[in-house]
Structure 1
Amino acid sequence: MKKALLQACALCVGATGAYAGGLDRSGQGINLIFEEGSVVQFRLGYTNPDVSGTLGGVDSGNVANSFFTPHLGYKRALTDQLDFAIMYDQPFGADVEYGANYPLSVNPTSPVGGRSGVLEASARTDAITALLRYKINNGFSAIGGLRVQRLTGDVTVPAAAGYQTDIDADIDYGYVIGVAWEKPEIAARVSLTYNSKVTHSISQTESANQVPPIPAGLVVVDTDTEVVTPQSVNLDFQTGVAPKTLLFGSVRWVDWPQSVYAPPLYVGITNDNLLDYDDDTFTYSLGLGYQFTEEFAGAITVGYETSTGSTVSDLGPTDGFWSVGLGGTYSIEKAQISGGVQYTDIGDATTNQGAQFSGNSAWSVGFQVTYALD
């Protein structure tokens, strides 16, 4: 009962991070380290958001492109007390593209030879996390590990004199530390993990049109700056509450004000950062799982992220959400096959430029296979 329920629950809980904080993709979960024995795990999620707003009476169109959230992991029991896991995921990302007639997609220098384009941004992080878990006694264990993260992206802001930046891929490092407590007799577990920030020292190529009375032309400069993916804390819990029934949930805090992107040329043009945040976020989930047969278990989850009420970046025009998800797991010999679907109601937001985004939502689906190696 315990193992199948955990698979169904992990898929549903993991999916709630699909639109958390606007850029938070994977939720940086570590449930794999708690699997019994040695296993390999593959998960793939797909999210189809519908996010639109208006600025000055002009519709933005659906600015959020669909995206995948992959996860690949291997966990091995080294000894009775020591476990090892290595995982790949994409913890943060963005993929937005506005309509051509949107005010921020219009280049004010275009009558004098400015280049055309639309307001858009693409960013991706790829992370590999290696973890060790040492079981102490009385159900307690200590967790620690290293994260290697790669960042790349590009942004176009036509309204800022046709501005564009292309970020060279950069690799930097962070760490994970945590503690956990388990009581297998009642399927109880509580884990608390801290994910450090990762500071990327990036090189980029920035370009923009010169603004009259300077003669028209393209300015291209290679510059350096820093981008931080923020620190976070995850609290995950579960416990059996009745025969074949598991209650589970999580709380995730992300320190978004740490994330500032201020490329020098853009700051010189606008006297503002390209991306920053005023508030951190808290994301909550709660679910109930039930073992229907020896082979099949199902779960339902609800999720909630508090809205901040602050203005947000036009590159991430969301503020909070609530969600509901359904998932199930079927056991076939050594394999646990899971699937799930989630609906997210995305919170209304006002952007820094005064655009109003409301009535937005997203659908997510996911598929996971966990295979026991022993």
Structure 2
Amino acid sequence: MMKLKLTPGVTGLVALAVSTSAMAGGLERHGYDVDLLFGNSPFYFDGSVTYVMPNRKIKNAKDESVPESDPTNLNSLGYSTTAEEYENYADPYLGGKAAIGDSIDCMVDYSEPWGANSNPGRHWAGAKDMTEIEVFSRNYGGSCSYKFDAGPGQFRIIGGGFYQEIGGHKEAVVFAPEILPGMGALIGQDFSGYSGLGRLDGMKDSSGGWRLGIGYEIPEYAMRASLVYNSRVKYDSIDGTLDMTGVPAAAALLELDPMKRALYSRIFGVNTPVTGSATLPDSLELKLQSGIAPDWLAFGSVKWTNWSLLQTVEFTCAGSASFCGTADGVALTSLDLYYRDGWTVTGGVGHKFNDEWSGGVSLTWDRGTSTVTGSQSDSWTVGLGAAYTPTENVELRVAGALGVLTSGQSNPVHMTTTSYDFGTDYVSALSGELRVKF
């Protein structure tokens, strides 16, 4: 086999090009990454920020909680049938790697693997389901690998763990503020000044997980293969507060169903502590790369993520049965996701132009995880990256991506009440990265 002249600037573009996959499925933002373990210098520092700009437009939104002839229907009140769903977001990463002798490499890193930012606003026809949602995460990881000679290259065993924090909030319209004065007049109450909003706030929990993997590399041919499994993460106590102070307590008297009236009397007008549970997915990722000609590198990856673990996350009253009363064990609100498993496939090439400049291009397909509800359809993303190496110890990288989000529709299920369509939309991203090695 012909030996290929390939430098770290070229091999590093694998991570650079792959990082421009801007809209992965489920709640994925950064995911997990142990590529620093393969760095060919004893010490590495890596810092990056990717700024993602999704452009998903909702259209033909319909409030299906009540018939359109009902005066509380948001369509009949003139709420918009269109909305901008996602907000832009930043994805930061910090990592460091150190070699311990000739056989052991260890790394620590900080990332934000999961997240969601959706803000269609308070005046669209789906506002009873959601006016705003935010999910955030913080991940602190540590991994090590042990390598030994095997044939023409080196075999590597990888293991590690991570500690995670998640949190967020959800806001929705309970009663449109336009109808509150009239509702109050029916029972001789002043409902003016109320927002009509309910808010699930302060959601927070922490947990941990582990990873195990293997790798094989032949450095002189820039050949590398790795297979890494990351465990699922169970959150048993996602605690928060259901803030219904924007809804007048006396509005419960207008409910004809006695069971619902008793429940609403318990939660309207007050803050109620709530709790929920969820399991974030495990994943398995295969990565491959190899030199194909002098100063040319080909790479690819396939990742499976077990997003079908997340169907619906219900929040119930926290506390004793006597404290919760009629709300005990009842789902007061929920995050209805109904995901299917995610698959992400990436392929690309990198090229070294000279001792200072390298470039790369990638194509990524991500299978949409939404099923009956939601707008996470299949996406196709093209990424372009460049690396500048002014000295042997410093490398600067920039990358950009442009992707297509395919069309589809969302329908009511469980506690959701809105149907809507979405067409072919676009997503873009910009990334900057600094690597220092010695």
Aligned residue number for residue 335 of structure 2:
274
Does residue 13 (structure 1) correspond to residue 18 (structure 2)? The answer is: yes
Q: Is the 8 A contact 2:26 2:369 kept in 1?
A: no
The amino acid across from 1:82 in the alignment is: I
Aligned residue number for residue 59 of structure 1:
81
C-alpha displacement at 1:104, in angstroms?
2.1
Does residue 171 (structure 1) correspond to residue 206 (structure 2)? The answer is: yes
Does residue 80 (structure 1) correspond to residue 102 (structure 2)? The answer is: yes
Q: Which moved more, 1:95-104 or 1:64-73?
A: 95-104
2:148 equivalent among 129, 136, 145: 136
Does residue 242 (structure 1) correspond to residue 247 (structure 2)? The answer is: no
Distance 1:12 1:312 in 2: 31
SS, match of residue 11 in structure 1: helix
The amino acid across from 1:142 in the alignment is: I
Q: Is the 8 A contact 2:25 2:367 kept in 1?
A: no
Aligned residue number for residue 115 of structure 1:
none
1:263 equivalent among 315, 333, 336: 315
2:402 equivalent among 320, 343, 348: 343
2:48 equivalent among 43, 51, 56: 43
Distance 1:22 1:102 in 2: 23
SS, match of residue 12 in structure 1: helix
Does residue 70 (structure 1) correspond to residue 92 (structure 2)? The answer is: yes
Residues 40 and 309 of structure 1, relative CA distance in 2, 3 Å threshold = closer
Q: Is the 8 A contact 1:136 1:142 kept in 2?
A: no
State the aligned residue count. 358
Distance 1:96 1:309 in 2: 15
Q: Which moved more, 1:321-330 or 1:4-13?
A: 4-13
C-alpha displacement at 1:309, in angstroms?
7.2
Does residue 29 (structure 1) correspond to residue 33 (structure 2)? The answer is: yes
Residues 59 and 29 of structure 1, relative CA distance in 2, 3 Å threshold = farther
2:276 equivalent among 210, 225, 233: 225
Aligned residue number for residue 285 of structure 1:
346
| CA RMSD of superposed structures (Å) | 2.2
SS, match of residue 85 in structure 1: strand
Once the two structures are superposed, residues 292-319 of structure 1 have per-residue CA deviations (whole angstroms, 9 ceiling, x without a partner) of 1111110000000124672233xxx221
SS, match of residue 17 in structure 2: helix
Once the two structures are superposed, residues 83-114 of structure 1 have per-residue CA deviations (whole angstroms, 9 ceiling, x without a partner) of 0000111001001011332122159xxxxxxx
The amino acid across from 2:303 in the alignment is: R
Identity of aligned residues (%): 24
Q: TM-score, normalised by structure 2?
A: 0.77
Once the two structures are superposed, residues 138-157 of structure 1 have per-residue CA deviations (whole angstroms, 9 ceiling, x without a partner) of 12111010101111100112
Q: Is the 8 A contact 1:103 1:159 kept in 2?
A: no
SS, match of residue 110 in structure 2: strand
The amino acid across from 2:362 in the alignment is: T
Moved over 6 A (4+): none
2:367 equivalent among 286, 297, 306: 306
C-alpha displacement at 1:79, in angstroms?
1.2
The amino acid across from 1:172 in the alignment is: S
SS, match of residue 136 in structure 1: strand
Q: Is the 8 A contact 1:20 1:320 kept in 2?
A: no
1:189 equivalent among 216, 221, 224: 224
Q: Is the 8 A contact 1:76 1:84 kept in 2?
A: yes
Q: Is the 8 A contact 1:289 1:297 kept in 2?
A: yes
C-alpha displacement at 1:226, in angstroms?
1.1
SS, match of residue 327 in structure 1: strand
C-alpha displacement at 1:159, in angstroms?
4.9
Residues 43 and 135 of structure 1, relative CA distance in 2, 3 Å threshold = same
Aligned residue number for residue 70 of structure 2:
none
Distance 2:82 2:11 in 1: 41
Distance 1:73 1:59 in 2: 44
Aligned residue number for residue 179 of structure 2:
none
Q: Is the 8 A contact 1:257 1:276 kept in 2?
A: no
Distance 2:158 2:290 in 1: 20
Distance 1:309 1:277 in 2: 7
Structure 2, unpaired ranges of 5+? 1-5, 63-74, 176-195, 256-260, 318-326, 413-418
Distance 2:303 2:97 in 1: 23
SS, match of residue 85 in structure 2: coil
**Larger radius of gyration between Structure 1 and Structure 2:** 2
Q: TM-score, normalised by structure 1?
A: 0.89
